[in-house]
Amino acid sequence: MRNFTARIDQLLNTLKFSIAVVVAMIISQIFTACKKYNDDANTDACSIITATNISENIVYHFFYKPDGKIYKAEAGAKVIKYEYSGNTTIITTIDSGRFINKIIATLNSLGFATNVRIQNDTAGASWNNTVYEYNGVEVTRSTYTSSGSGAAGIAMYHWSDGNLVSKSFASDTINYNYYTNQHTQEGDYIFFAQLLQGYKIYHTINLLSSYSSTTVSSTTFFTYEFASGKISSFIAANSDGSVRFDYEYQCDYY
C-alpha cells in the first residue's frame, strides 16, 4: 500500500493534517474519551515511544517532557520539534538538517486548534493558513487560504453521536465510520495522526473503522489489535494494499 505509506511520509515532512489523507494521515495530545478536553499534556500512565511501519520498516520515535507533552519526534533523518508558549504550539520539521516547515498553532480554551499557519520557508513568505470553527468540542467549519492563491477553501464538518461522520469541501465529501463498541484511545488512527501533527482538531468518541471519498472509488478500512487493554497495532487497507503500524509504550505506574 505504497500510496498510504507515501502519505505517512508526507505528514512527517509537512505535518499538514487532513484526516481524509491517510496519515498524511496518521494524527496529540490526543485525547481519549476519558480525558478532559482542556488537557494540554498526555496524562495517561503509558505513552507511545515508538511506532513502527512494518510495511516500510520505518520507525518513528517519540520523546516527552516530564509533564507528558511531546517535545520531539524522529524518523530517520527527519526531526520534528514541538515548543509551547501559552496557547500557542510551534512545530518545526527538519530533514537532514534542512528546514521543511514551521507550524504555528493557536489553541482555544479547550485545547483545540483555532488557527494553524504553516510557513514553508524560513522567511515565512510562502505560507498557508487554516481557521477552524467549533461548536463546543466539534469542529464545524474550516477556511483555508495561502500565499499563492486568492481563493479561500471552505470545508464543512458534520457530526453524529460524538463522531465526525463527514467532511465536505469543493466537489468532494469524505465519509467516516466507526467501531461503535470501541471507545477511542491512545494509538488509534486519529490519535497517531494528531500526535505527529502536534495539535488537535478532532475528538471522536469511537475508534475509526473506515473512510471513503465520493471522488475515489476505494474505501480505506482500519483494524486494531490489542494487548493489555491498549492498542498494540493497527492495519489500514484499501485496494492499493495494506500497511501495519506496531506500537511500543513506556508506562509510569504510581
Res 44: pLDDT: 52
CATH code at position 214: 2.40.160.150
Strands (DSSP E) found in the chain? 46-53, 58-64, 70-75, 78-85, 88-95, 98-107, 113-119, 127-135, 138-146, 149-160, 163-169, 172-183, 206-213, 216-227, 230-238, 241-251
Quote the pTM value: 0.82
Cell of 67: 509533564
Q: Rounded distance, CA 6 to CA 55, Å?
A: 11
**pLDDT tens-digit series, residues 79-124:** 999 999 999 999 999 999 999 999 999 999 999 999 999 999 999 9
- Any bridge partners for residue 251, and if so which? 46
pLDDT at 32: 26
Mean of pLDDT over the chain: 84
Q: Which residue carries 471513503 as its cell? A: 212
pLDDT, one tens digit per residue, over 171-228 is 899 999 999 999 999 999 999 999 989 999 999 999 999 999 999 888 999 999 999 9
pLDDT at residue 38 above 60? no
Q: How many domains does the chain have?
A: 1
The CA angle 247-178-249, to the nearest 5 degrees, is: 15
**Segment 62-67 mean pLDDT:** 94
* pLDDT over threshold 60, residue 20: no
Structural domain of residue 142, as residue ranges? Answer: 2-251
Lowest mean pLDDT among 12-21, 53-62, 87-96, 132-141: 12-21
Cα separation, 91 vs 95, whole angstroms: 13
| Mean pLDDT, residues 51-77 taken together | 94
In angstroms, the first-to-last Cα distance of the chain is 41
What's the CA gap between 243 and 10, in Å, rounded?
15
- Percent of the chain with pLDDT strictly greater than 90: 71
pLDDT band at 149 (very low <50, low <70, confident <90, very high): confident
pLDDT at 252: 77
